[in-house]
Amino acid sequence: MDFPCLACGLCCEKARYVKELRPFFDEKGQCSFYDRKSRKCRIYDCRPAICHTKVMYEKRFRAFMTEKDYILANLSVCLALNRAAGNRDNEERIRNIMEEIEERAD
C-alpha cells in the first residue's frame, strides 16, 4: 500500500519536531533539502529512509504493526500538522482518506 501523501510539505517544514531529522534541518528547523517555493524535496529520489514511508515500514515497523496501521498512524501525524497549520481543506481530505483505509479489509 502506498502512502497517500498530499504533498503539503508540512512534514518537511516541521522537521525540528522529529529527532531523527535533526541532521537535516536548517536554522529555521526545516529540512534543508525542502524547497519551500515549489513545496518539493530537492533530493526526493535519494531522500533519507526516515522520509520514505515504505522503507521505514519495512525496516522498523513491519515486525509489530500492519502496514494499514502504520499508514493510519502516519496520517494521524499529517492530520495534526494540518490542523495546527489551519489547513482545513487538507484536514478534511486526510480524514476522508483515513476513513477509506479503515474500511478496507486487512
Q: What is the pLDDT at residue 22?
A: 85
Q: Is residue 96 part of a domain?
A: yes
**Residue 94 confidence class, pLDDT cut points 50, 70, 90:** very high
DSSP 48: -
- Check whether 11 has a pLDDT greater than 80: yes
Question: Domain range for residue 20?
Answer: 8-46
Q: Which backbone phi and psi does 31 adopt, to 5 degrees?
A: -65, 130
Q: 72 with 103, same domain?
A: yes
Q: What is the pTM of this model?
A: 0.89
Residue 60 has which C-alpha cell?
Answer: 522498523
Q: Are 14 and 8 in contact (CB under 8 A)?
A: no
Q: 101 with 65, same domain?
A: yes
Residue 12 has which C-alpha cell?
Answer: 518537511
In angstroms, rounded to a whole number, what is the distance separating the alpha carbons of residues 62 and 81? 24
Q: 36 with 17, same domain?
A: yes
Q: 78 with 102, same domain?
A: yes
